[in-house]
Chain A
Amino acid sequence: MEIKTKSEGSTLTISVSGRVDTVTAPELEAGLKFGDAKCVVLDIAEVPYMSSAGLRLLLTSHKAMLAKGGEFKIVNVQPSVSEVLSITGFADILNIA
């Protein structure tokens, strides 16, 4: 798994590459450091699939950003990931561009 971060003003963009599953989730969790960013954009264009271990991270990130009045956006969602998001109802509660 590869995680790249890019900061532009108060917006933090995190690009993830690779599957998100039980094995890789801890790695991703470690990479999700938001600092004082007001807006976090998670680019998962390179994530071929994601299991519930990844969903957990999305949910906690979303809740954390909401708690401090910020925003957590997910962009470039692959169809396989999108499918899991809609099955679980996460598509409705997360901020997906």
Chain B
Amino acid sequence: MTARRSLNVKVAVSVLVAFAASMAFSWFLHNSLSERDAYALIDRTFANARAELTDCINERLVVQCMEARERLEDGHPDDTASLQALARELRVSEVSIVDDKGDIVRSSVPDYLAGPGRKAFNFAEADDKDANKMMGLIDGRYTEYCQPYRSNAANGNWRKFVGVWRREGGFFEIGLDGKALQSLARSTCVDRFRNWRVGGSGGIVVTTPTGLVLSDYEEPNREGTQFHEPGGSFYWKRGDIETFPVYVMIPKMSAAVQRDVLVGATALLNGAALVFVALLVGFVIAAFVRRQIREQEAKELAMAKDIQLSALPNVFPPFPDETRFDIMASMATAKEVGGDFYDFYFTAQGRVLVIVADVSGKGVPAAMFMMHAKTLIKSAAQTGKPLAQVFTEANEALCEGNSSCTFVTAWAGELNVNTGHLTFVNAGHNPPVVRRGSHCEYLKTRPSPALGAMEGVTYRVDDITLEPGDAIYLYTDGIVEQPDPSGELYGEGRLLGLLSRNVRQRGEILKTVLADVHRHAAGAEQADDCTQLVLRYRGEPDVVEHEYAPTLEGVAKAVDDLTAALERVPERVRAQLLVAADEIFANIVHYSGATRWSLSVEHDHHPDGVRLVITDDGKPFDPLAQRDPDTTLAAEDRAVGGLGIFIVKKTMSPVTYKRRNGLNILKMGRDYGDQD
């Protein structure tokens, strides 16, 4: 049990540590992921915003440039002053006209034009890639072109130039300084970021270079107020797009909530999974441990049963040549071993001891105690000590070191098989049933204490004398204490009734009783070991045996002897026996070729009966193997052969045949009470 608990604790700790580690890792992962994800999102948003704003401004400027072209083609004067006026009107910084060679030929900016000691600005020759690209408008590669806002090649001023194709060659160009660019874009382009949402609750803020808010994503918006760069509570990035400082920002809170939700969900899932796994592991371990324990218990149970059963004599009849008594015993073990035992053996010349006992407690300890008790009693009894002394000594030995207070109830009887005198001792055991003739009664005497219960007890014996045919039935409380489904015990009354109704049964009575106990249990499991033993005293057998000549004279003598031997046998049975015997005698003298034959008559006591044994040295003949005649034929067709054997088979029970040592040995008989 301790091992099991410490195992459980280890498992629980391991599970918790694994869970904590998993959660820490998950939090860290999601934290770093959320920061990385936030900046990736900001970069993507920024690129989109740059494309969007640039496109918008470019479109707007191309329209302005086209406006300038239209005005000039419609005849707007193109001198410097007029172009300056046009630029003001169109709210741009500069307007220029470029010829098909790439020279600026007209411009609101005099510096660009050819003058004393200087050539006009030429786009093809300028050491400026953005300027060179404007040449595409002349060679027809495109009809409009927008430069980025930048420090220009001609005079280093920051400008954004846009050009559109000119019909007579060259192109028209407008240029916007930062202020113009802003005023133009401010009204048309920057406010489209108001509705952009970044990462749930983030957004885009566009300001003027001095930090006045032009477009804000928050409500109420901060437009027109001074913008302060976001602090540490945002993931953010600032970049300039077409002169506008643009901020893309995501509140860390939002990302953190997202992270926490993720971590929380993961934790929940992990937790659930861990709990599940822990339960599973726990369940598997518990099942395993339970199985181990069950197997161990089953092993112990089997061992206890083995001990119990192997210690009991189980060959019946135990003394096949013994005619003065017979013993039948059985034990039906309950599922849980109860520690019952029975035993029988010769103690001294002419005495046989029978014992039935029940050890308190169950399982292996009870089985061990039972072995001990059984051995003690047997070894003491076989030295020839009186039964009382055997029990007194066994009790002392069993009390010694008996800390578990295990005890054993026992009933033992010692039968003088020549006289029927039975000496017995009852150590706290159920009273046996004694059958005298056909009357059954409990043999109740004041019991002595159970063996092993109390030191210093002197055991007393009582005695009775059995007549030939009388029997004594011993049992353990498993018989009388078997409950039925309502809890009512089988009881001594039922047992006595059953035995009284079946006085003619011999060894079979044990099966009869057990069957009745099981019937009483009505399907319930047998509650305890059911141990029974029956000892029947037969006394000296009344045997007549004579040998006869194989002639009719011999038969006549045998019939006379048999008639005399059957004098006290009831008339009907006597007639049956005489007829059957005559049939066998006739066979012997007429057909067997025997030179001698013999008849013995054995009287049996209780149930009363007779056995005839007829032996001859003739040719082998098994009457039981003969075919029965057809007894339904009409008189004309009937033959007499075979009828005799048929009569024997019909009237005798039991009938046995043996061929041994060149002899036919036929044994047949009747019990007087048999009905057929």
> Is B644 in contact with A51, judged by CB distance below 8 angstroms?
yes
In whole angstroms, what is the CA distance A49 to B590 when docked?
21
> Is B575 in contact with A49, judged by CB distance below 8 angstroms?
yes
A62 is contacted by which of B571, B583, B635, B650 (Cβ under 8 Å)?
A: B635
> Is B576 in contact with A87, judged by CB distance below 8 angstroms?
no
Give per-residue flags for B557-577: 1 if the beta carbon is below 8 A from chain A beta carbons, else 0: 001000000000001100110
> Is B647 in contact with A49, judged by CB distance below 8 angstroms?
no
A37 interfacial contact with B, CB 8 Å: no
A22 is contacted by which of B586, B638, B651 (Cβ under 8 Å)?
A: B586
> Is B555 in contact with A22, judged by CB distance below 8 angstroms?
yes
CB proximity of A91 to chain B, nearest CB, Å: 10
A80 is contacted by which of B579, B636, B638 (Cβ under 8 Å)?
A: B579
In the bound complex, residues from chain A placing their C-beta under 8 Å from that of B586 are 21-22, 51-53
In the bound complex, residues from chain A placing their C-beta under 8 Å from that of B590 are 22
In the bound complex, residues from chain B placing their C-beta under 8 Å from that of A22 are 552, 555, 582, 585-586, 589-590
Give per-residue flags for A42-86: 1 if the beta carbon is below 8 A from chain B beta carbons, else 0: 000000111111011001001100100000000000011001100
B646 interfacial contact with A, CB 8 Å: yes
> Is B647 in contact with A88, judged by CB distance below 8 angstroms?
yes
CB proximity of A18 to chain B, nearest CB, Å: 11
In whole angstroms, what is the CA distance A51 to B646 when docked?
11
A48 is contacted by which of B552, B575, B629, B634 (Cβ under 8 Å)?
A: B575
Specify which of B571, B582, B631, B647 lies most central, judged by the most chain A CB atoms within 10 Å of its CB: B582
In the bound complex, residues from chain A placing their C-beta under 8 Å from that of B555 are 22-23
Q: A52-B644, A89-B632 are in contact. Are A59 and B638 (CB under 8 A)?
A: yes
B578 interfacial contact with A, CB 8 Å: yes
In the bound complex, residues from chain A placing their C-beta under 8 Å from that of B21 are none
Closest to A26 in B: B552
B634 is contacted by which of A52, A55, A79, A93 (Cβ under 8 Å)?
A: A93
CB proximity of B266 to chain A, nearest CB, Å: 96
In whole angstroms, what is the CA distance A19 to B643 when docked?
18
CB proximity of B423 to chain A, nearest CB, Å: 46
Specify which of A23, A80, A83 lies most central, judged by the most chain B CB atoms within 10 Å of its CB: A23
In the bound complex, residues from chain B placing their C-beta under 8 Å from that of A63 are 635-636
In whole angstroms, what is the CA distance A28 to B636 when docked?
21
A94 interfacial contact with B, CB 8 Å: yes
B556 interfacial contact with A, CB 8 Å: yes
In whole angstroms, what is the CA distance A93 to B638 when docked?
9
CB proximity of B122 to chain A, nearest CB, Å: 154
> Is A83 in contact with B576, judged by CB distance below 8 angstroms?
yes
In the bound complex, residues from chain B placing their C-beta under 8 Å from that of A66 are 635-636
In whole angstroms, what is the CA distance A51 to B583 when docked?
7
CB proximity of A93 to chain B, nearest CB, Å: 4
In whole angstroms, what is the CA distance A22 to B632 when docked?
24
> Is B583 in contact with A52, judged by CB distance below 8 angstroms?
yes
> Is A80 in contact with B647, judged by CB distance below 8 angstroms?
no
CB proximity of A39 to chain B, nearest CB, Å: 17
In the bound complex, residues from chain A placing their C-beta under 8 Å from that of B572 are 79-80, 83
Q: A51-B582, A59-B640, A93-B634 are in contact. Are A80 and B559 (CB under 8 A)?
A: no
B559 is contacted by which of A21, A84, A89, A93 (Cβ under 8 Å)?
A: A21
Give per-residue flags for B594-634: 1 if the beta carbon is below 8 A from chain A beta carbons, else 0: 00000000000000000000000000000000000101111
> Is B635 in contact with A55, judged by CB distance below 8 angstroms?
no
> Is A21 in contact with B582, judged by CB distance below 8 angstroms?
yes
CB proximity of B672 to chain A, nearest CB, Å: 15
In the bound complex, residues from chain B placing their C-beta under 8 Å from that of A80 are 571-572, 575-576, 579
A88 is contacted by which of B552, B582, B585, B631 (Cβ under 8 Å)?
A: B631
> Is A88 in contact with B634, judged by CB distance below 8 angstroms?
no
CB proximity of A41 to chain B, nearest CB, Å: 17
> Is A50 in contact with B585, judged by CB distance below 8 angstroms?
no
> Is A23 in contact with B556, judged by CB distance below 8 angstroms?
yes
In the bound complex, residues from chain A placing their C-beta under 8 Å from that of B632 are 89, 92
In whole angstroms, what is the CA distance A58 to B398 when docked?
76
CB proximity of A94 to chain B, nearest CB, Å: 7
> Is B647 in contact with A51, judged by CB distance below 8 angstroms?
yes
> Is A87 in contact with B583, judged by CB distance below 8 angstroms?
no
In the bound complex, residues from chain A placing their C-beta under 8 Å from that of B576 are 80, 83
CB proximity of B7 to chain A, nearest CB, Å: 79
Closest to A93 in B: B635
> Is B575 in contact with A52, judged by CB distance below 8 angstroms?
no
In the bound complex, residues from chain B placing their C-beta under 8 Å from that of A48 are 575
> Is A87 in contact with B650, judged by CB distance below 8 angstroms?
yes
In whole angstroms, what is the CA distance A50 to B575 when docked?
8
In whole angstroms, what is the CA distance A48 to B646 when docked?
20
Closest to B640 in A: A56
In whole angstroms, what is the CA distance A79 to B307 when docked?
57
In whole angstroms, what is the CA distance A66 to B556 when docked?
33
A89 is contacted by which of B575, B631, B644 (Cβ under 8 Å)?
A: B631
> Is B643 in contact with A88, judged by CB distance below 8 angstroms?
yes
In whole angstroms, what is the CA distance A48 to B552 when docked?
20
Closest to A24 in B: B556
In the bound complex, residues from chain A placing their C-beta under 8 Å from that of B552 are 22-23
CB proximity of A34 to chain B, nearest CB, Å: 17
Task: Give residues 18-75 of B contacting A (CB, 8 Å).
Answer: none
In whole angstroms, what is the CA distance A23 to B559 when docked?
9
Closest to B642 in A: A52
In the bound complex, residues from chain B placing their C-beta under 8 Å from that of A79 are 572
In whole angstroms, what is the CA distance A52 to B635 when docked?
15
Task: Give residues 223-240 of B contacting A (CB, 8 Å).
Answer: none
Closest to B645 in A: A52
In the bound complex, residues from chain B placing their C-beta under 8 Å from that of A50 are 579
Q: A23-B552, A66-B635, A94-B635 are in contact. Are A51 and B559 (CB under 8 A)?
A: no
In whole angstroms, what is the CA distance A84 to B575 when docked?
10
Q: A21-B579, A80-B572, A89-B631 are in contact. Are A52 and B647 (CB under 8 A)?
A: yes
In whole angstroms, what is the CA distance A37 to B625 when docked?
43
Closest 9 CB pairs of A and B: A89-B631, A80-B575, A56-B640, A52-B644, A93-B635, A51-B582, A22-B586, A49-B575, A21-B582
A-B contact pairs, 13 of them (CB 8 A): A19-B559, A21-B559, A21-B586, A52-B640, A53-B644, A56-B643, A80-B575, A83-B576, A83-B651, A87-B651, A88-B647, A89-B632, A93-B633
Residues of A within 8 A of B (CB): 19, 21-23, 48-53, 55-56, 59, 62-63, 66, 79-80, 83-84, 87-90, 92-94
**9 more A-B contacts (CB under 8 A) besides A51-B583, A53-B644?**
A19-B559, A22-B552, A23-B556, A49-B575, A52-B640, A52-B643, A53-B586, A66-B636, A84-B579
